[in-house]
């Protein structure tokens, strides 16, 4: 039987073997592949810089605008740090920020090697890479911002780089601390929500200060140097240091779950398989249906409405986390609509995206039919009929969610919508969110096989872009009536009549989507038959007398 050498330096062996694997990996990279990767990175980098330059603009701010930035800027920009820390905490509570190879979890972390030593190298490697990326991105944003703000370009670039690496350090450090201290998921969520709420309260003037305001001061250093801005830099360094010290506390269970799911999620995201990403994300966060439903429905005697009952049973088994997320999304949508009403038009995108995400949860029964087509196809009913019937419960969920949105949007206070407009919006944001999710789920991933293989890359690119943007775009359209109502008020008219055409338009659009759900299979098979017929005619040999 084998025995262990008590004098063996296990950690040194680990380092040597990792070097060996790194050499193996590098030796297998072909220089053409490396060159192509560099080319793609440069190309997308240039595109990103161009887009950012267009967004930031190059018109210098007026003195009045500068005064406003100096007064309100630190509070609002502090939101970057709040979101970064909240994101890090959530990631850490789910085993992040590392996503190790599964074999590394099984063979290295289950060996008697010091776990902190085993994890430190991959953590530092990942942190080094992310820091470099953050510094470059932050530096470029600072460089672009220098066109609009007074101060020298170098100062803005350096500040941008420092701010981005600090935000990264806060997120990464928070994740390490949460992971190493095994912070429960609910604890991470509460801490993140409190931090974001404190930032929002400060930003809208309900609180005199927030923990993340010093980050905002740092970002505006080229305008005015505030020593308070040094605080987040120090906190970021300290929190990363604490996180690294806590590495030995990392849960293997979380690490292994993450190692097996994160890779799949990245691949699914690359392939734009949104449904797969949703399912994997639920697995990663252990979002399991409840064994005991919140309310038990009678199993017998409900045969008349099988799809409605199936959908309701699914909803009644939603875990508390999913319900909480839906409520949070409604609050975000409501607040975003208030922002739109107050004049920040861009928040319409946030409102639409939040309802789109809510819609993805609401269409779960339909999505499961798509996940298991053989079960659906074994039913005597037409697939389109089944899909359509599954929309009933989805619509109910979205209407309930939209009522909550309307309440949040119309509660008296800054940016409150008129009650009648908020009530009218229930129909449009519910149906648009549901419609966008239905298109996303039924559309699935973009398939470039078949007839699309013969189309030019530009057409394929356009199709991919459209298929990606269209479903959330529909959800964003649902919030558009707020803009119409705002425009009506601006020209001295009543808000509700102004919003009404938009709401009616969304109801009609949803009707069209429902019709599409009903006939898409028939249309697709008709088109396919036509293509095949045309193809057969082209290839059939013609005889000498002209007859085929």
Partner 1 sequence: MTPPPPVLVAEGASKAYADLVALAPLDLTVEAGETVALVGHNGSGKSTFLRLAAGLLDLTDGAITVAGAPAGASDARAAISFLPDEPVLYDDLSVREHMAYVAALHGSRIDDDGIDAIIERVELGHRADDLPSRFSRGLRQKASIALGLVRPFRVLLVDEPFVGLDASGKAAFLDILDELRGSPDHAVLVATHDPNFVERADRCVALHDGEVVHDGPATPDEVLRLVSH
Residues that bind partner 1 (CB under 8 A): 1-6, 8, 10, 13-14, 16-17, 21, 24-25, 28, 101-103, 105-108, 110-115, 251-253, 256, 286, 288, 290-292, 319
To partner 1, the closest distance from the beta carbon of 279 in angstroms equals 17
Host H or E run for residue 467: helix 457-477
Nearer to partner 1, 251 or 272 (CB): 251
To partner 1, the closest distance from the beta carbon of 107 in angstroms equals 6
Rounded to whole angstroms, the Cα distance separating 511 from 131 reads 49
Report the interhelical angle of 320-342 vs 383-410 (nearest 10°).
60
Residues in Cβ contact with 298 at an 8 Å cutoff, skipping those fewer than 6 apart = none
Q: Which of 199, 209, 197, 221 is nearest to 69 (CA)?
A: 221
To partner 1, the closest distance from the beta carbon of 247 in angstroms equals 14
Nearer to partner 1, 238 or 286 (CB): 286
Long-range CB pairs of 80-83 (<8 Å, 24+ gap) are 80/163, 80/167, 80/212, 80/215, 80/219, 81/166, 81/167, 81/170, 81/199, 81/212, 81/215, 81/216, 81/232, 82/195, 82/196, 82/198, 82/199, 82/210, 82/211, 82/212, 83/196
With beta carbons less than 8 A apart as the criterion, state whether 289 and 317 touch. Answer: yes
To partner 1, the closest distance from the beta carbon of 104 in angstroms equals 8
To partner 1, the closest distance from the beta carbon of 124 in angstroms equals 20
- Give the phi and the psi of residue 3 in degrees, each rounded to 5: -125, 160
How is residue 463 written in tokens?
């199709």
- CA 152 vs. chain centroid, Å, equals 35
Nearer to partner 1, 292 or 300 (CB): 292
Nearer to partner 1, 210 or 250 (CB): 250
Nearer to partner 1, 181 or 468 (CB): 181
Rounded to whole angstroms, the Cα distance separating 230 from 166 reads 10
How is residue 173 written in tokens?
């450090």
To partner 1, the closest distance from the beta carbon of 210 in angstroms equals 33
To partner 1, the closest distance from the beta carbon of 277 in angstroms equals 22
Compute, in degrees rounded to 10, the torsion defined by CA atoms 157, 159, 161, 165: -170
To partner 1, the closest distance from the beta carbon of 102 in angstroms equals 5
Region of 205 on the Ramachandran plot (φ > 0 left; ψ -120 to 50 alpha; else beta): left
With beta carbons less than 8 A apart as the criterion, state whether 513 and 438 touch. Answer: yes
Rounded to whole angstroms, the Cα distance separating 451 from 537 reads 17
Nearer to partner 1, 105 or 265 (CB): 105
How is residue 253 written in tokens?
């269970």
How is residue 79 written in tokens?
């939101």
Nearer to partner 1, 58 or 253 (CB): 253
Nearer to partner 1, 131 or 264 (CB): 264
To partner 1, the closest distance from the beta carbon of 113 in angstroms equals 6
């Amino acid at each position: 039987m084998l025995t262990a050498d008590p004098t063996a330096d296990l950690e040194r062996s680990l380092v040597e073997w990792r070097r060996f694997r790194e050499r193996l990996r590098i030796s297998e990279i072909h220089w053409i592949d490396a060159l192509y990767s560099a080319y793609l990175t440069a190309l997308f980098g240039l595109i990103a810089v161009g887009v950012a330059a267009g967004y930031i603009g190059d018109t210098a701010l007026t003195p009045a605008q500068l005064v406003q930035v100096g007064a309100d800027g630190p509070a609002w920009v502090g939101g970057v740090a709040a979101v970064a820390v909240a994101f890090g905490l959530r990631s850490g509570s789910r085993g992040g920020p590392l996503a190790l190879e599964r074999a590394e979890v099984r063979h290295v972390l289950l060996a008697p090697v010091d776990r902190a030593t085993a994890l430190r190298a991959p953590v530092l490697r990942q942190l080094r890479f992310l820091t470099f990326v953050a510094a470059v991105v932050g530096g470029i944003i600072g460089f672009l911002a220098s066109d609009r703000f007074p101060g020298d370009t170098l100062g803005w670039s350096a500040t941008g780089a420092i701010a981005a690496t600090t935000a990264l350090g806060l997120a990464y450090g928070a994740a390490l601390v949460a992971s190493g201290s095994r912070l429960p998921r609910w604890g991470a969520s509460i801490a993140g929500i409190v931090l974001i709420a404190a930032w929002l309260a400060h930003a809208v003037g309900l609180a005199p200060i927030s923990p993340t305001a010093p980050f905002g001061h740092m970002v505006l250093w080229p305008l005015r140097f505030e020593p308070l801005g040094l605080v987040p830099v120090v906190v970021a360094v300290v929190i990363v240091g604490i996180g690294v010290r806590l590495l030995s506390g990392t849960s293997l269970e979380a690490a292994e779950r993450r190692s097996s799911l994160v890779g799949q999620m990245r691949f699914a995201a690359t392939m734009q398989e949104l449904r797969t990403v949703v399912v994997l994300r639920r697995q990663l966060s252990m979002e399991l249906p409840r064994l005991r439903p919140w309310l038990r429905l009678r199993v017998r005697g409900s045969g008349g409405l099988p799809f409605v009952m199936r959908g309701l049973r699914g909803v009644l088994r939603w875990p508390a986390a999913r319900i909480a997320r839906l409520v949070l999304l409604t609050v975000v949508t409501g607040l975003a609509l208030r922002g739109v009403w107050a004049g920040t038009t861009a928040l319409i995108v946030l409102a639409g995206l939040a309802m789109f995400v809510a819609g993805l949860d609401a269409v779960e029964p339909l999505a499961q039919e798509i996940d298991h087509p053989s079960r659906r196809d074994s039913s005597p009913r037409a697939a389109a009929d089944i899909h359509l019937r599954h929309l009933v419960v989805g619509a109910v969920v979205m209407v309930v969610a939209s009522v909550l949105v309307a309440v949040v949007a119309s509660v008296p206070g800054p940016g409150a919508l008129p009650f009648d407009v908020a009530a009218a919006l229930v129909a449009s944001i519910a149906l648009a969110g549901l419609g966008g999710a239905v298109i996303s789920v039924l559309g699935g991933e973009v398939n470039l096989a078949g007839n699309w293989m013969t189309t030019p890359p530009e057409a394929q690119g356009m199709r991919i872009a459209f298929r990606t943007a269209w479903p959330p775009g529909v959800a964003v359209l649902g919030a558009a009536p707020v803009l119409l109502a705002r425009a009506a008020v601006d020209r001295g008219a009543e808000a509700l009549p102004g919003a009404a055409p938009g709401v009616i338009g969304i109801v009609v659009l949803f009707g069209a989507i429902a019709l599409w759900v009903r006939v898409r299979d028939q249309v697709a098979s008709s088109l396919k038959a036509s293509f095949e017929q045309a193809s057969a005619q082209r290839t059939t040999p013609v005889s000498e007398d002209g007859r085929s």
